[in-house]
Amino acid sequence: MTAITDKRIAVTGGAGFLGSFLLEQLEAAGAGELIVPRIENYDLTEQDAVRQMYADAKPDIVIHLAAEVGGIGANRANPGRYFYANMAMGLHLIEEARKHKIEKFVQVGTVCAYPKYAPVPFREEDLWNGYPEETNAPYGIAKKSLLVMLQAYRQQYNLNGIYLLPVNLYGPRDNFDLETSHVIPALIRKFVTARDEGAAEVVAWGTGSASREFLFVKDAARALVMATDRYNGDQPVNVGTSHEITIRELVELIAKLTGYEGTVRWDTSKPDGQPRRKLDTTKAAQLFEFEAGTGLEEGLRETIEWWETHGAS
């Protein structure tokens, strides 16, 4: 028996990228009924809809993955919407969790919450030591405020809420829409298309000097299951690999793995985003024994293969 064995678990965003893998791993770990509130039935930005979701689902545990999110371009285009939607969903879900006296609330935060110039590697203690990178600050701050809410609700109402900070995710089933996707799926789609069409060049955003850390989606899902099962503390915990790569190196690697032989042109009029991202993942290993198991090249190969097989559909 574990803390999730036979539990009714509601997973917001369970129909999405990370959610789909999380559901598979929760089921494998012995969870009971898994409930996925769909947006056509429950608009989680509305309190009445959230209240109805709790009444219908009667969850023991809620894992809140649902978010309105995108890459740099989407964040620049939708700062107000991203702040409101992410703030409202978390606000209502946590308040109703308290009222329904659920056993546990798992909030998935974002690496975008960290200060723009946080010391590298990012440690949880540095979360409040500065303002986030401007292009994704509204999203990051909305998510970060939910950490404060969970800590306050633990103090006043004894709600067992935990807060995890995953780094950038990638993998099969990701969002490959060039308008809203993150960097890895966007690059994979660009390079596969350019290869297949014989294009002479691919345009990449920025200078390539920024660095990022990437976590394979199956590892992220495993981390969530382990934390839901084993971690009950009030402090945020980073979830990642603790390895970084520059965007230029990433572009060269994806070009090689997709077999693209043309040139890359860097559009330096586009922003780089946060200069560096690399997490200190010590606490995840200590508190719930999580360590990432998939190397970047291995994960990229699987993601490229998935897109080549499923991309047209």
Contact 287, 230 (CB under 8 A): yes
Q: Does the annotation count 163 as an active-site position?
A: no
Which of 114, 139, 231, 260 is catalytic? The answer is 139
Is the peptide bond between 121 and the residue preceding it cis, with omega within 30 degrees of 0? yes
Continuous segment of H or E residues that includes residue 141: helix 137-157
Q: Amino acid identity of 161?
A: G
| Token pair in block for residue 273 | 């985003």
Contact 178, 190 (CB under 8 A): yes
> CA separation (Å) from 204 to 90, 227, 251?
34, 36, 8
- The residue assigned the tokens 């999405």 is 16
Contact 58, 8 (CB under 8 A): yes
- The residue assigned the tokens 């056509």 is 40
Per the DSSP assignment, residues forming a β-bridge with 104 are: 61
The residues that are catalytic are 139
